[in-house]
Each structure stands twice: as structure tokens, then as C-alpha cells.
Amino acid sequence: MVEGFPEHLCAMAMVCLLDFEAYAEKYLPKIAWDFFAAGADECSTRDENILAYKRIRFRPRMLRDVSMLDTRTKILGTEISFPVGIAPTGFHQLAWPDGEKSTARAAKAMGTCYIASTYSTCSLEEIAAAAPGGFRWFQLYIHRNRAVSRQLVQQAEALGFQGLVLTADLPYTGKRRNDVRNGFRLPPHMKLKNLEGAFEGDDRSEYGLPPNSLDPSVTWDDIYWLRSLTHLPIVIKGILTKEDAELAVRHGVQGIIVSNHGGRQLDGAPATIDALVEVVEAVRDRVEVYLDGGIRKGSDVLKALALGAKCVFIGRPALWGLAYKGEEGLQDVLRILRDEFRLSMALAGCASISEIGQDLVQFSKL
């Protein structure tokens, strides 16, 4: 029995990410679990994000000296200890009382990047103060009230965030059936700290905000607007096609996150690992390409890197780690992924990230 933790925390051996998922489903309030787990409509894209990895097979190489393994890489010039960061997700206090402060601390402790969401339940100042010197990017939703978005971008830069991530796939919120059934609302003691006082009236029925507060008129030209507000590198999140990848490069972004919003937006969109291939081909190394969605094992990370991702980001598994034991639980999740990734690298014959290439994988006819 570990001092200070309830007995059920110690009884379970947390061996893989699915153990944290099972814990979170069992112990989180139903409304919180349903919110984190939700996909759009029938959840086919959410589920396909995971299933698509099973159709990719390795072509492992033997007798390659793997006595010394190096998992370090760089994203936009900053070194991370292994190629897994924390994707932007909202409402971390639904998983753990300290919310995003715990997330920031865990990311710093594990030497990786944390993308803080516009929809955080801790303010950007609180997040920055929780883990001084941590490597963080800020994820932006553009609201109809542009002054709010401008202020957030400038505040993030002033607080030392090192990148700006524009989410492109949410002109409107996807239909998540369980949230509708549950009448999802943030508990009264939780606030969207970055947006307090930004909107008139008392209606906060749409994920903590007034209905229709997001700006659905955003276009590629708004990247120029963002560029005028900040010196931070701009990464665009939510790209799934070669056409949009080409437009992203043409509009001067520094990075692309191949993402379908965890299957929470357009059901029937491709799995991200499937979309990655055409995006990487279109980009031709002109900007860095990352991926989120469906990462559940270290071998998934290896497959994504083999297909051209520079780094992957995890969304739901980070929340499961928080739900288990806050900062410590999230560190456990990251540590398990790191160790599984190292082992997969070694067993596939790669001693360093630079040795991972497309010849390491093949698509099977499942």
C-alpha cells in the first residue's frame, strides 16, 4: 500500500495504456468519461484511428547494433527526449483537480512538448508558472470576438510559449451523441480560465461557452492575420489532405498536425495514420509534419515516424494518466510509451530516430 493513495490505485498493475483507459472509465464520473471518450455520430473515425495501425506491418531488420538507443529528436528546433508530445485537449480538471498544471509538470519532467488548449481549466499564467522553463505550445481557436483571440496569442508569447497551434477543423462542434444525451455542462466550480469575462450573458451551454462563439468564417488568409500578431512559429492542426497540406505550406506555416480531432468532428474522415502518407508526400520536407489520433502503444509511434511524422501527440491517453494519479499518472503513461517505443525501435533494428524510414513498414491486406 503506497502512503496517501487509495487502495484501488495500488492494486492495479499499470502495464500498458489500455490499463489507464480501463481505470479512467471505471472511476471518472460518467459525464466526464463520456465527454473524453466521445466521437462524432457513430464514432467510426474515432475507432478507425486505432484500427488503422493494425493494418501496418513492420519489416524489421536484424543484426544491427542496438546496444545504444537514442530516442531524442527535435521539433521546430527544440529537443525533446522522445517523439511523443501532449496534444491539446480541454477541461483537464474533469480528470484531476490540478488540471493543466499537472499536465505541464508531467511534460516538463519527461522532457517533451505540451500543447495547452484554449479550453483549459487553468489560465495560461497558471500553466506557465506550474512548470517554469517547460516546452509548451499554445493551441488557438479563433472566436467571433477577434479581440479575445488576439489577446490570447499575445499573452501566450509573453508567457514564453514557443509555438502557436491553430486548430482548423472546428468551424462548428461535431455532434457527440453522449454529450447531447448527458446535457454536458462544465461543473459550476470549473471555468474556461482563458476566456473568463470574454463573452456577454450567462449562457455557457456549448462546452463552457455561449452557443456559436467560434468563428466559422476563418480562412487561410487568417494565417496572415495571426502572423501579424506574433513572432511565434505557426503550426496548423486538422489537415487530412494533400490539397490542404500544399495550402498550409504556401501560407507559410512551420508545421502541420495531421489530425481528425480524435474522431470528434466529421465522422467518416480518414484515420490520421492513413492520411499521413499523402500529407507527407505533398509537403516534401518543406515543413515538419506531426500526427495525433490512435496512438496506444510504442509500436504505433514507430509506425507513424516510419511514415514520415516527426513526432506524435497523445490526447485521450494523457487524460487517462491524469485521471489515474495526476502528474504522476501522466508521467507513467509517457514513460510506458517511451519504453515501448525504445523496445520497438531496437527490435526493428533502429538505434536512433534517423534510422527510421519508410522501408520499415508495409501495409497488409487485412
| 176 to 190, 297, 323: CA distances (angstroms) | 21, 26, 21
How far is residue 123's CA from residue 83's CA, in Å, rounded to a whole number? 26
Which residues are part of a known binding site for glyoxylate?
A: 141, 167, 176, 261, 264
Mean pLDDT over 109-125 rounds to 98
Q: What integer best gives the mean pLDDT of the chain?
A: 95
The larger pLDDT score, comparing residue 321 to residue 210, is at: 321
- The pLDDT assigned to 365 comes to 60
The larger pLDDT score, comparing residue 91 to residue 9, is at: 91
Does the structure show a pLDDT above 70 at 170? yes
Name residue 32's beta-bridge partners: none
* Whole-structure pTM value: 0.96
The residue type found at 273 is I
How far is residue 79's CA from residue 112's CA, in Å, rounded to a whole number? 8
**Are the C-beta atoms of 166 and 239 separated by less than 8 Å?**
no
C-alpha cell at 299: 509500436
- The pLDDT assigned to 11 comes to 53
- The pLDDT assigned to 209 comes to 86
Ranges 79-88, 194-203, 238-247, 337-346: which has the least confidence: 194-203
Does the structure show a pLDDT above 90 at 65? yes
Mean pLDDT over 15-38 rounds to 98
Which residues are part of a known binding site for FMN?
A: 88-90, 117, 139, 237, 259, 292-296, 315-316
Q: Which residues of 184-196 are buried (b: 16+ CB within 10 A; e: fewer)?
A: bebeeeebbbbbe
Mean pLDDT over 316-337 rounds to 98
363 pLDDT tier (thresholds 50, 70, 90): confident
81 pLDDT tier (thresholds 50, 70, 90): very high
pLDDT, tens digit, for every residue of 309-320?
Answer: 999 999 999 999
How far is residue 259's CA from residue 273's CA, in Å, rounded to a whole number? 9
Ranges 9-23, 162-176, 211-225: which has the least confidence: 9-23
**E strand residue ranges, 168-244:** 234-239
The helix or strand, by DSSP H or E, that contains position 245, with its residue range, turns out to be helix 242-250
- The pLDDT assigned to 12 comes to 66
Catalytic status, residue 261: yes
- The pLDDT assigned to 2 comes to 41
99 burial type by CB count under 10 A (0-12 exposed, 13-18 middle, 19+ buried): buried
pLDDT, tens digit, for every residue of 209-224?
Answer: 888 899 999 999 999 9
Name residue 280's beta-bridge partners: none
Which residues are part of a known binding site?
A: 88-90, 117, 139, 141, 167, 176, 237, 259, 261, 264, 292-296, 315-316
Contacts by 140-144, CB closer than 8 A, 24 or more apart = 140/164, 140/165, 140/166, 140/167, 140/226, 141/167, 141/170, 141/214, 142/166, 142/214, 142/215, 142/218, 142/222, 143/195, 143/198, 143/213, 143/214, 143/215, 144/212, 144/213, 144/214, 144/215
Does the structure show a pLDDT above 70 at 1? no
The catalytically annotated residue of 189, 231, 251, 261 is 261
Ranges 6-15, 50-59, 89-98, 307-316: which has the least confidence: 6-15
**Are the C-beta atoms of 235 and 163 separated by less than 8 Å?**
yes
Closest CA relative to residue 186, chosen from 106, 121, 112: 121
